Amino acid sequence: MSKSVAKIKNIKLINIRQILKYKHMKKTKILVTGGTGYIGSHTVVELQNKGFEVVIVDNLSNSHIEVLDGITEITGIRPTFEQFDLCDSEKTKNFFTKHNDIDAIIHFAAFKAVGESVEKPLMYYRNNLDSLINILENIQLSGIKGLVFSSSCTVYGQPDELPVTEIAPIQKAMSPYGNTKQIAEEIITDFINVNPNSKAIALRYFNPIGAHKSAKIGELPIGVPNNLVPFITQTAIGLREQLSVFGNDYNTVDGTCIRDYINVVDLAKAHVVAVERIIENKTKFNFEVFNLGTGNGSSVFEIINSFEKATNQKLNYKVVARRAGDIEKVFADTRFANEELGWKAEISLDETLLSAWNWEKYYRAKKSLLNKE
């Protein structure tokens, strides 16, 4: 046998051995709490698309089991799903005993309605903080590499300087919901201080909007939406009569409030990058914080115009009084996330609003079909 033939045979053998090795190699396993929720479901899709094994825990308090069908249709993989309340410490412990091979956690599960949190503060403190503490206790017990935590730009209040950076001072929370995010970041800081083998990343989202481009998953608010974009799509489809624009006398380009609206798929991709950063030991600090936004501020009128242009729908709206507690303008300085995570929001506002509209149409058509059956 000539030397070159032997070399080729050798290479082939190595390749086959490698394939066999990878076939038997365990996939990296991520626990996604709140994984049937809005941001969680989009993140599960991106994780599965990148080859991660996902297990979801959700008590379905603000989501539906059918979301799993949407995820399966998009990715071809049905994630493992366990339904229970993460505030139940016994059930949470049993879960981690059963799934003793989890590498990292993305913790979305929380209540998120600002107004409701003012009405029912204890319900918010109990749900959002008990669940986090249970998760952290099990990280400590089971040597899991770390946690990605859903935080919010709400911690900045009305910042003195815009765009707002991660080192801007945290302002007194405007609601119990906002306070749970501030306290949660403090709890994580204290936990990581004494458990330096685990790493944590808090992602402070600005305003997540839109849906997966397939329209198989999206945002599904229960009852009357509080947030702008679901209210717009529900008005356009005829479920709500009119959108109320809360104030046009702010000190902004057109008098309406400014926010940093970020596409939910872009946001989901940032979670994949963050979890990889933890797993691959690339974190520079034991607890890191990143802003997730586009870096651009848009006014309410700009959102309405973009929606009308992208979808060819005329929106019925009127200007009403300001909404109590609204911040005038806030948008992210995204340089730290762009440079350090190597992540950048890419999807345009028009495309994002079109995706929200396509999801609304798809969901309502599916629902009316089911109701007829």
Interface residues toward ligand WQD, by CB under 6 A: 112, 114, 152, 154, 207, 226-228, 231, 243-246, 257, 259, 300, 323, 326
Quote the tokens at residue 159: 């910042």
Which residues ranging from 177 to 216 are in contact with ligand NAD (CB under 6 A)?
Answer: 205, 208
Q: Give dist(CA 171, CA 157) in Å, integer.
A: 6
Which one, of 228, 112, 227, lies nearest residue 179 by Cα? 112
Instruction: Using CB under 6 A, pick the residue from 29, 49, 53, 60 that binds ligand NAD.
Output: 60
Measure the N-to-C terminal CA separation of the chain; round to a whole number of Å: 70
Task: Assess whether the previous peptide bond of 169 is cis (omega < 30° from 0).
Answer: no
Question: Is residue 127 a contact residue for ligand NAD (CB under 6 A)?
Answer: yes
Instruction: Using CB under 6 A, pick the residue from 110, 275, 304, 347 that binds ligand NAD.
Output: 110
Closest approach, Cβ 324 to ligand WQD, in A, equals 10
Size of the site for ligand NAD (CB under 6 A): 27
Question: Is residue 108 a contact residue for ligand NAD (CB under 6 A)?
Answer: yes
- Identify which range of 15-23, 60-68, 274-282, 347-355 contacts ligand NAD by CB under 6 A: 60-68
Instruction: Using CB under 6 A, pick the residue from 63, 179, 233, 256 that binds ligand NAD.
Output: 63
**Could you give phi then psi for residue 250, rounded to 5 degrees?**
-85, 160
Catalytic residue check, 177: yes
SS3 of 106, please? Answer: strand
- C-alpha angle 292-235-369 in degrees, rounded to nearest 5: 100
Which one, of 211, 191, 210, lies nearest residue 202 by Cα? 191
Which residues have CB under 8 Å from 87's CB, separation 6+? 126, 127, 130, 131, 134
Closest approach, Cβ 8 to ligand NAD, in A, equals 52
Q: Provide the H-helix boundaries in 213-263.
A: 228-236
Residue with tokens 């809005």: 38
The mark string for 23-52 relative to ligand NAD (x by CB under 6 A, - otherwise) is -----------x-xxxxx------------
Nearer to ligand NAD, 108 or 301 (CB): 108
Question: Is residue 86 a contact residue for ligand NAD (CB under 6 A)?
Answer: yes
Out of 38, 124, 177, 250, the active site residue is 177
Catalytic positions, please?
A: 177
Which residues contribute to the site for ligand NAD (CB under 6 A)?
34, 36-40, 57-63, 85-87, 108-112, 127, 131, 150, 152, 205, 208
